């Protein structure tokens, strides 16, 4: 791909003129230890520029199921404990990018839910994003909720008069013109019988794959989805998993369509989920790794010590690895 084409593809040229200022998300990357800068180039697409001072893998910290915001004294105390743990985790692991895979806030607990966790995340000095979880839906509408998340990089697309919360990050290494890896975030819904990745989002993903193929983009991809796909259970049932299995897999209304679309793409290498706080296992099903994050908030149910999952992407080797991490 020629540089001129790349600029057109990423939208860099027009974006610099159009924005003319540094966004809150860019600022987060600049002031923390992160070597990543995130720029929005379309409503549903971001470019994550990775420019470490010496070659190393990109570090993504997956946090999930923090369930912040319930205004009860005990929950407020446990939120403070979670904030401290997350700050420590970030100081220790020095991630370049944070991906929260849903149930960030108990928006459904009361009209008075506190959204102070957003300020905490904005102050971490690391660019971040959020894939919607079922508890993120509630009293405050999703557009209003997202308006508060000024420092986060959140995308969406419109289709048939509706707004859908799926979007992607294309990771570009220093000095490179072409993207080297992609991360896709999806919304897995909140209400029965639609607690799964919706058909419009799967159609969107198909269109993304087709457009990439036309441009010659074949990057490996990771998918971030709050509610696990049904294959998490199929894999566990035949004992192909490693890690904690402490409760039934709540794949809710997923019936295999999401996995089938990912499988067909041949580009999705792993799916990272949350939702089931007592599970943190991982394993490979039909060539795609299925990975639970680790419950991250003390206001959430479940007894597992709180932590996160560090995902390291080696762009030069086109590979990734991950492990659970804990604040110590
Ligand atoms: Fe949860």
18 confidence band (pLDDT: 50, 70, 90):
very low
**For position 39, what pLDDT does the model report?**
96
Distance 228 CA to ligand 1 centre (A): 11
Asked if residue 9 has pLDDT above 80, the reply is no
Asked if residue 4 has pLDDT above 70, the reply is no
Average pLDDT, the chain: 91
Distance 42 CA to ligand 1 centre (A): 30
For ligand 1, an ion, list residues with CB under 5 A. 65, 103
* Cis previous bond, 193, omega within 30: yes
**For position 259, what pLDDT does the model report?**
98
pLDDT digits (tens, 9 = 90+) for 113-163: 999 999 999 999 999 999 999 999 999 999 999 999 999 999 999 998 999
Asked if residue 112 has pLDDT above 70, the reply is yes
Asked if residue 2 has pLDDT above 50, the reply is no
Distance 295 CA to ligand 1 centre (A): 8
Q: How far is it, in rounded angstroms, from Cα 51 to Cα 70?
A: 38
**For position 8, what pLDDT does the model report?**
36
Name beta bridge partners: 98.
61, 128
**For position 32, what pLDDT does the model report?**
56
119 neighbors 148 (Cβ within 8 angstroms): no
Is the sign of the CA dihedral 149, 306, 64, 57 positive or negative?
A: positive
Distance 134 CA to ligand 1 centre (A): 8
Distance 91 CA to ligand 1 centre (A): 24
Distance 299 CA to ligand 1 centre (A): 10
Asked if residue 7 has pLDDT above 50, the reply is no
1 confidence band (pLDDT: 50, 70, 90):
very low
Q: How far is it, in rounded angstroms, from Cα 231 to Cα 197?
A: 14
- Look-up: residue for tokens 């008069």? 161
Distance 106 CA to ligand 1 centre (A): 9
**For position 33, what pLDDT does the model report?**
78
**For position 21, what pLDDT does the model report?**
42
Distance 110 CA to ligand 1 centre (A): 16
Distance 277 CA to ligand 1 centre (A): 6
Distance 214 CA to ligand 1 centre (A): 38
pLDDT digits (tens, 9 = 90+) for 161-185: 999 999 999 999 988 989 999 999 9
Asked if residue 246 has pLDDT above 60, the reply is yes
Distance 240 CA to ligand 1 centre (A): 24
Distance 64 CA to ligand 1 centre (A): 8
Q: What is the CA 184 to chain-centroid distance, rounded?
A: 7
Asked if residue 5 has pLDDT above 50, the reply is no
Distance 308 CA to ligand 1 centre (A): 14
Distance 297 CA to ligand 1 centre (A): 9
Distance 248 CA to ligand 1 centre (A): 14
Distance 135 CA to ligand 1 centre (A): 7
pTM to 2 decimal places: 0.92
């Amino acid at each position: 791909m020629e540089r001129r084409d790349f600029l057109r593809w990423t939208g860099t040229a027009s974006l610099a003129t159009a924005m003319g200022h540094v966004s809150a998300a860019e600022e987060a990357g600049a002031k923390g230890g992160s070597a990543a800068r995130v720029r929005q180039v379309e409503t549903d697409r971001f470019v994550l520029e990775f420019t470490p001072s010496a070659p190393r893998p990109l570090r993504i910290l997956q946090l999930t199921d923090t369930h912040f915001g319930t205004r009860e004294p005990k929950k407020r105390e446990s939120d403070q404990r979670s904030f401290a743990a997350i700050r420590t985790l970030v100081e220790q692991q020095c991630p370049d990018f944070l991906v929260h895979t849903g149930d960030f806030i108990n928006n459904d607990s009361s009209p008075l839910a506190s959204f102070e966790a957003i300020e905490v995340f904005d102050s971490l000095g690391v660019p971040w994003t959020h894939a919607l979880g079922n508890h993120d839906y509630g009293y405050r509408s999703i557009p209003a909720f997202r308006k508060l998340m000024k420092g986060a990089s959140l995308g969406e697309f419109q289709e048939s008069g509706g707004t859908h919360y799926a979007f992607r990050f294309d990771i570009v290494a220093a000095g490179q013109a072409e993207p080297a890896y992609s991360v896709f975030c999806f919304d897995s819904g909140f209400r029965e019988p639609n607690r799964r990745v919706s058909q419009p989002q799967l159609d969107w993903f198909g269109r993304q794959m087709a457009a990439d193929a036309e441009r010659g983009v074949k990057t490996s991809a990771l998918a971030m989805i709050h509610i696990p796909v049904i294959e998490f259970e199929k894999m566990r049932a035949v004992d192909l998993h490693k890690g904690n299995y402490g409760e039934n897999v709540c794949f809710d209304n997923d019936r295999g369509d999401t996995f089938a679309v990912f499988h067909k793409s041949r580009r999705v290498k792993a799916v990272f989920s949350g939702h089931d706080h007592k599970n943190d296992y991982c394993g490979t099903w039909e060539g795609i790794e299925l990975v639970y994050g680790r419950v991250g908030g003390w206001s959430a149910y479940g007894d597992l010590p709180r932590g996160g999952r560090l995902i390291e992407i080696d762009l030069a080797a086109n590979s990734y690895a991950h492990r659970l991490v804990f604040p110590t």
